[in-house]
Structure 1
Amino acid sequence: MTPRLFDLRSTWHLPAPVEKVWGVLTSLDLRPGEPVWWPGCTVAAPLTVDPSSADPDGQELTEVTAHLRFRTALGYSLTVSIHPTVATPPWKLEFEAQGDLDGEGAIILTPGSRGNMTRMDIRWTVRPTVRWMNLLVPVAAPVFVAAHAHTMRKGERGLAAALTSG
C-alpha cells in the first residue's frame, strides 16, 4: 500500500519586505541542537553540502541540505531533511524533503502593497514514512492535518517575531 499523499498549503503574512524575509529563510547559520526562529523546531544535524548541485541563480542554497526536527503539539517529533532544488532570490524556493516525511514543497514570496509586508505562500506535498503514522492515517489524517496547521501558525508567529526583532 502506498502511503497517503498530503497536499498542505499555508499563507503567512509577515511584517517585513521580501528581501528581509528571504534573508531569514535562507540563512545557513544552523548549528545542531540549536533552535531556529520556528518554535518547536531545532537543527537535527549539521548542514550537508553537495557541491555537485550547481544552480547558478541560487548555487549556495542548492548545494546544502538542512536537517530539522519539528516537535508537534501532539507530542511526537518529525525529522525532515530539506534540500533546495530551485532558488530564485528573493521570490521563490523549491525544495525536496526526505526523512519522516518525503516529498516536495515550494515557498513563494510576494511583496505587500506598501512594500513593508510580505505574503508567503507555502505548498508542501509529502507522504509520511514513519510506520506508526501510516498505520494511523486512515483514522488520524484529520488530526495530522490539524497538527500541521498548528505547527505552521507557530512558524508564522516565530518568523514574524524574528523579522521585527532583528
Structure 2
Amino acid sequence: MYNLKTIWRLDAPRQPIWDALIAADQWPLWWRYVSNVELLQSGEAGSLSSRRRFTWTSRLPYRLCFDVRVRALAEHNWIEADVSGDLKGTGKWLLSDFEDSTLVTYIWTVSTEKAWMKVLAPVLAPVFIWNHNQVMNEGAKGLASYLGVALLAFEQSRNLPQN
C-alpha cells in the first residue's frame, strides 16, 4: 500500500484551481501524462454522482487505467474519491490559502492491482514512487501553465506511514 502526499503551491486563488481540478475531462489538455478521461456515469463536474475512467502514461513504459468515483467534497476546499482498476484506494485533493497563494495537497492512498506490479513492489516501490513524483510534477507545471500563473513550490511525494 502506498500513502503518498504531494504539495503544489500556485500563485492563484482557489477558484480557478478548483475549477480546473473538478473539470477532469479537461485534464489531458494540461496534464502531460493523462492520456484519456472517459465519462462512465454522468454528473456535474466534481459531483458525487460522477464516475470517470482515467488512462495514464508515465516516465516508465507502462500505462495505468482506473475508475474514479467522487465520494465526498466541500466546494473550493477538498474532494475525495474512490479508485478502482489497476490501482485501488482513495485520492484526496485539499486546497488551502497560503499567504497570497494556494496550496494544493494531494493524498494518494492506493495499492497496485496489476500482478506484475504486486510481485515487483517490494523491490521497485522506490521506482514507482519516483515515477509518481514525475507525473505529479508535470501536473503541477501543466496546471500552472494552463491557468497562466506561477508554480511557486512543488513538494515531492513520500510514502507516509499508514494510520
Aligned to 1:13: 9
Unpaired segments ≥5 residues, structure 1: 51-57
1:129 corresponds to which of 101, 113, 121: 113
Runs of 4+ aligned residues of structure 1 deviating over 4 Å after TM superposition are: none
What is the CA RMSD across the aligned residues, in angstroms?
2.1
Q: Please name the residue that 2:138 is paired with.
A: 154
SS in 1 for 2:30: coil
Q: Is the Cα–Cα contact under 8 Å of residues 109 and 120 in structure 1 kept in the other structure?
A: yes
Task: Confirm whether residue 62 of structure 1 aligns to residue 48 of structure 2.
Answer: yes
Percentage of pairs with the same residue: 28
Q: Number of matched residues?
A: 149
Equivalent position of 1:26 in the other structure: 22
Q: Distance in 2 between matches of 1:85 and 1:59?
A: 13
Higher relative contact order structure (alpha carbons within 8 Å, sequence separation ≥ 6): 2
- Equivalent residue, structure 2, for 1:39: 32
Tell me, which stretches of 5 or more residues in structure 2 are unaligned? Answer: 150-163
Shift of 1:60: 5.8
Query: Which is greater in Rg?
Result: 1
Give, in angstroms, the shift of residue 59 of structure 1.
9.0
- Per the normalisation by structure 1, the TM-score is 0.82
Amino acid of the structure 2 residue aligned with 1:130: K
Q: TM-score, normalised by structure 2?
A: 0.84
Question: What's the secondary structure of 2:111's corresponding residue?
Answer: strand
Distance of 1:60 and 1:75 partners within structure 2: 30
